[in-house]
Structure 1
């Protein structure tokens, strides 16, 4: 199975931490965010991974190479500045991802979500949802008891982990594009499912949130 790690972001809200180092190479408990994702994707049986690159992308490529330390084949989808955003980045990488459903992981998410659960069954799309954090109290999507994603409250927050079939992106052309309109179209067609995760999850998007997760996990490692 293939996966895509979204690693093209600038990380501006992290301030000086990302002036000379890309966000995916920031470390928690002695392991970079992107190495943690690679390790846990390996544990879930994922053998081929596409990583999109933009800001300081060559540092990521140099750190990871073409084969991960767990034997996964790595390929890179390189974007020019400004980055293509999440939707555009995935669409740009579709030729590398092939015809089958693939896992998508935001590089700047720290979570203990079991990626292996995404391999169960065939589906057009399934997103991981979490309780709304303080910095995103409004949430993103509703979730029915049968697992359908809706735009009806109460809302949960998209947690930056999903599995998508390529056909989910049909009708959306190349270029800079957010993910939300693509997911809204899937909801309208009734094909987007969701799974609520109640374990560890943090969007490591600011220096403060990175410090929080480091305090918790550096001390426990």
Structure 2
């Protein structure tokens, strides 16, 4: 199974911490966010990970090396001075990710999610991991119905996309490499009933501000595990 970590963002909301450090190299619980992700992917049996970079990308290259410290093959997709956003970054990396479904995780989330529980052959175009709505995003992103179908509208609890998913390359068919977010692609697929999902009820944290980073670091350093509702 191949995977991608989205790590090219500038981290504007995290300034001044990200003025001299790329967001994925910020530390929580004594480890960088990127270290947490690579270790969890390796534990799940992943062998190739693509990491996209832009802002301070060389710092990430230097930290990761060839990935052998985690037992992984790591490839760097360098997007230059301007990150291509989430969909654009994935589309650019598709030749390295291969023809089969692959995992993707946002570099700015922290979770104890076990990737081994995420199907390597999702029904439809993708399977998303959803979590309880955090306080800063109370209305969520998608409905998850009893049949595990993900919809933009309809029955079922409305939940927040965790920034973790398994995608078929066909989700990006006909899309060219350009600055483009992933959200609209997912919403179109949901409207066509081509997305499934699973709710993760364990630990998950969106690290969007210095205050959230400090809060998570405090919890992890104290041996506590946060959930989305703790944000």
Do these two structures clear the TM 0.5 threshold for a shared fold by scoring above it?
A: yes
The SS at the match of 1:82 is: coil
Q: For residue 145 of structure 2, what is the aligned residue in structure 1?
A: 144
Deviations 1:84-143 (A, max 9, x none): 111111111111111000000001100011111114544331011011111111211111
Q: For residue 117 of structure 2, what is the aligned residue in structure 1?
A: 117
Structure 1 position 171, deviation (Å): 2.2
Q: For residue 97 of structure 1, what is the aligned residue in structure 2?
A: 97
Instruction: Report if aligned partners of 2:119, 2:127 keep a CA contact under 8 Å in 1.
Output: no
Q: Does residue 216 of structure 2 align to residue 213 of structure 1?
A: yes
The SS at the match of 2:158 is: coil
Aligned length: 221
Structure 1 position 14, deviation (Å): 1.0
Q: Give the unaligned 5+ runs of structure 2.
A: 225-231
Q: Give the unaligned 5+ runs of structure 1.
A: none
Deviates more, 1:173-182 or 1:116-125: 116-125
Structure 1 position 212, deviation (Å): 1.0
Indicate which of 181, 184, 189 corresponds to 1:181: 184
TM-score normalised per structure 1: 0.96
Consecutive aligned runs of 4 or more in structure 1 exceeding 6 Å deviation:
none
Deviates more, 1:211-220 or 1:47-56: 211-220
Structure 1 position 29, deviation (Å): 1.2
What is the CA–CA distance in structure 1 between the aligned matches of 2:119 and 2:39, rounded to whole Å? 16
Indicate which of 185, 196, 211 corresponds to 2:199: 196
Q: For residue 127 of structure 2, what is the aligned residue in structure 1?
A: 126
CA RMSD of aligned residues (A): 1.3
The SS at the match of 1:77 is: strand
